[in-house]
Amino acid sequence: MEAMVVNVLNGLSWGMLLFLISVGLTTIFGVLGVLNFAHGSLFMLGAYGTMSLMRFFPSFWAGVVIAPLLTALLGMGVEITLLRRVYLRDVSYQLLLTFAVLLVLDDAVRILWGAAYHVVDPPASLAGTVGLFSHSYPIYRLFLIVVGPVLGLGLWGFFTRTRWGKMIRAAAQDRQMAEGVGIRVPLLFTLVFGLGAWLAALGGALAAPHQSVGPAMGERIIIESFIVVVVGGLGSFPGAFVGAILLGLLDAFGTLFAGRVQMALPYVVLAFVLLVRPRGLLGREG
């Protein structure tokens, strides 16, 4: 029983990190219609940026605030200078372009920070453990479990209750109609891509004390995030949440019960969902 509770918490903490990056990925797809291969690299930049900023500011939280903002600005620059030119072309152009951005960013990280792995300590207020039955459990993982739903509710409120959120939804449903009523769709698209980049980098910043910071950290997360988005339903906000929790728990319990087979379980779930419900668990039927 104790081991089950610990694994549930482990699964939820990993699931919340997956949710942070997946919700940015699915927001960009839902509004812009772009599958962003470079999203994992933006996640990685958030982690590296936080680690580097901690050398200049004696605070982990300064890195968590500044690094995602800088990454969001970079993402907006990518949208303005590159992506905007291929929106009206075949989807393969978008895939190739974002994959090229991924390669550039990954090589830039290796040049700037090297290929070594780094360890980032959690902030003093979240360091240490709490008693859980006969075990001790890291406080930082409990923090991750809480911050995911809080951020998710904040995003839901933004998209459903604010004027900007409603304009973004209108532009996503019918771009021409939105332009016809005076909405500056190009500006909205830039802001949405920046928001997605910010979410990815925020996930990376919060993941830095949870896992090693290295040049390959974006590769695993982007694969699992794509699985989360497809399983939950492309463009579905609640779907990203459900898919992230499902994959997080699958990762935790797969490690406990399935051994090496655990690595294949996400792909088995992906194949099953695509066969039974091709639009994902909470995806809209066309």
Residues 6+ apart with CB under 8 A from 136: 129, 130
- The packing angle between helices 163-173 and 185-207, to 10°, is 110
Q: Are 139 and 127 in contact (CB under 8 A)?
A: yes
In this structure, of 213-222, 255-264, 272-281, the range with the lowest mean pLDDT score is: 255-264
Single out the residue of 15, 37, 46, 94 nearest to residue 223, CA to CA: 37
Model pLDDT for residues 127-140, shown as the tens digit of each residue:
888 887 777 889 99
C-alpha dihedral over 210, 212, 218, 223, to 10 degrees?
Answer: -70
Model pLDDT for residues 218-263, shown as the tens digit of each residue:
887 888 889 999 998 887 888 888 999 999 998 888 877 777 777 8
Query: How large is the average pLDDT for residues 44-65?
Result: 91
Q: Are 254 and 265 in contact (CB under 8 A)?
A: yes
Q: Which residue has the higher pLDDT, 167 or 173?
A: 167
> Does 3.10.150 match the CATH number of domain 1-276?
no
Query: How large is the average pLDDT for residues 116-125?
Result: 89
Q: Are 231 and 243 in contact (CB under 8 A)?
A: yes
Per-residue confidence (pLDDT) for residue 219, from 0 to 100:
81
Is residue 285 scored above 70 in pLDDT?
A: no
Quickly tell me which residue has 């890291």 as its tokens.
138
Q: Compute the distance between CA of residue 177 and CA of residue 248 in angstroms, rounded to an integer.
A: 39
- Delimit the domains of the chain by residue range: 1-276
Q: Which residue has the higher pLDDT, 173 or 99?
A: 99
